[in-house]
C-alpha cells in the first residue's frame, strides 16, 4: 500500500491488466449507453410524430369493456378480418386537392386473384384510426367497368415503380412478387376520416382519394418522414423495380380522374317512403 502525496489515504495499486479490464468495461458501458440514448431519441421522435395526430374524442376504455372484448375475442371467429394477409404503405391525396396528402396503411385480403379489398389506417399501430377503404382490381376487371365509373379508379404503376408504395418489413424477393401484381391493378379509394385536418372524429362527406402518378407530386417532407420511420429509401427501391411492368394495355386514359379533379357533393332529394317498397311474400 502507498500514501498519495498531500493526503493520508492509503491506496492499493491495481495491476495494469485489471486497469485495462476496467477501462474496457467502462468503454463498453459508454457504448451501450450511447446506443440506448440513440434508441430513446428515435422512440421520442416517433412518439412526437404519432402525437401530432389528433386524439379521438371519448372516455378511455373501461376495464369491463376490455374484459368483454377479451371474452368475445376468444369466442367469435372474425373470419373476414383473419383473411388479411398483406400490409401496403403508400400515400393518397384528395381527388380535388393534391396538396392534401396522407400516409395510408392498407391491410388487404384477396377476394380472388383479380380483386383485393383493403382496410386503410393512418398508422400501423394498435391505436390506429380506420380512415378508409380501397378496392383493387385487375386490368381485365377494370376494362369491364362503364366509362362513367372508370375515372373513380386510380392506377398503381407509378407508385410501385417509384418505390413510394412498399410492404413494411417484408423481405425483398417476397415483396417484389407481390408488387409485380399490384403495379398492374387499379384501385378505388374512399376515405371517411380527414386526419390531415386534425379531425378527432370522422366528419363530413366520404372523400374520393387518388394516387401519385408522376415525379414531383409527393410531399417531400411527408416522404422523408416515412422513409426515416420505416428505414426505407424510395430511390433505392426505384432502382430495384425498374423491370416491373404495368397494365398490358397501358394506363387507361379515363383512370386517375380522367386527368381532372373530382369532389363529392351532397344533394337533397325526396326520400322514397317505405310503403313504396315492393313486398315479397314467400
Mean pLDDT of the chain: 85
Burial of 174 (0-12, 13-18, 19+ CB in 10 A): exposed
Reduced to 3 states, what is the DSSP secondary structure of residue 266? Answer: coil
* Inter-residue contact 56 to 201 (CB < 8 Å): yes
Block residue for cell numbers 380535388 = 96
* pLDDT tens per residue across span 93-138: 999 999 999 999 999 999 999 999 999 999 999 999 999 999 999 9
What counts of helices (H) and strands (E) characterise the chain? 8, 9
Q: Which stretches of 152-233 are DSSP H helices?
A: 157-162, 172-182, 220-230
What pLDDT score was predicted for residue 254? 97
Rounded CA-CA distance 176/166 in Å is 9
Mean pLDDT of 36-54: 48
What pLDDT score was predicted for residue 181? 96
Element at 234 (helix H, strand E): helix 234-240
Question: Is the overall model pTM greater than 0.85, yes or no?
Answer: no
* pLDDT tens per residue across span 17-33: 444 555 566 565 556 55
Position 10 confidence tier, pLDDT thresholds 50, 70, 90: very low
* pLDDT tens per residue across span 175-215: 999 999 999 999 999 999 999 999 999 999 999 999 999 99
Amino acid at each position: 500500500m502507498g500514501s498519495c502525496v498531500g493526503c493520508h489515504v492509503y491506496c492499493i495499486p491495481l495491476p495494469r491488466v485489471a486497469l485495462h479490464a476496467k477501462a474496457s468495461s467502462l468503454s463498453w458501458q459508454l457504448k451501450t449507453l450511447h446506443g440506448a440514448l440513440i434508441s430513446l431519441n428515435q422512440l421520442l421522435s416517433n412518439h412526437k410524430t404519432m402525437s401530432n395526430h389528433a386524439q379521438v374524442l371519448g372516455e378511455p376504455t373501461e376495464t369491463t369493456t376490455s374484459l368483454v372484448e377479451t371474452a368475445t375475442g376468444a369466442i367469435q371467429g372474425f373470419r373476414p378480418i383473419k383473411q388479411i394477409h398483406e400490409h401496403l404503405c403508400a400515400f393518397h391525396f384528395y381527388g380535388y386537392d393534391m396538396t392534401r396528402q396522407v400516409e395510408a396503411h392498407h391491410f388487404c385480403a384477396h377476394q380472388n386473384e383479380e380483386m383485393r379489398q383493403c382496410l386503410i389506417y393512418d398508422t400501423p399501430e394498435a391505436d390506429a384510426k380506420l380512415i378508409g377503404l380501397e378496392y383493387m382490381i385487375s386490368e381485365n376487371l377494370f376494362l369491364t367497368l362503364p366509362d362513367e365509373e372508370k375515372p373513380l379508379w386510380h392506377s398503381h404503376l407509378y407508385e410501385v415503380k417509384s418505390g413510394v408504395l412498399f410492404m413494411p418489413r417484408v423481405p425483398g424477393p417476397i415483396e417484389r412478387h407481390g408488387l409485380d401484381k399490384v403495379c398492374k391493378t387499379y384501385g378505388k379509394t374512399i376515405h371517411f376520416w380527414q386526419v390531415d385536418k386534425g379531425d378527432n372524429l370522422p366528419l363530413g362527406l366520404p372523400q374520393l382519394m387518388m394516387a401519385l402518378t408522376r415525379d414531383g407530386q409527393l410531399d417531400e417532407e411527408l416522404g422523408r418522414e416515412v422513409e426515416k420511420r420505416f428505414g426505407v429509401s424510395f430511390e433505392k427501391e426505384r432502382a430495384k423495380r425498374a423491370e416491373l411492368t404495368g397494365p398490358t394495355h397501358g394506363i387507361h386514359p379515363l383512370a386517375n380522374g380522367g386527368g381532372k379533379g373530382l369532389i363529392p357533393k351532397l344533394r337533397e332529394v325526396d326520400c322514397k317512403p317505405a310503403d313504396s317498397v315492393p313486398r315479397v311474400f314467400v
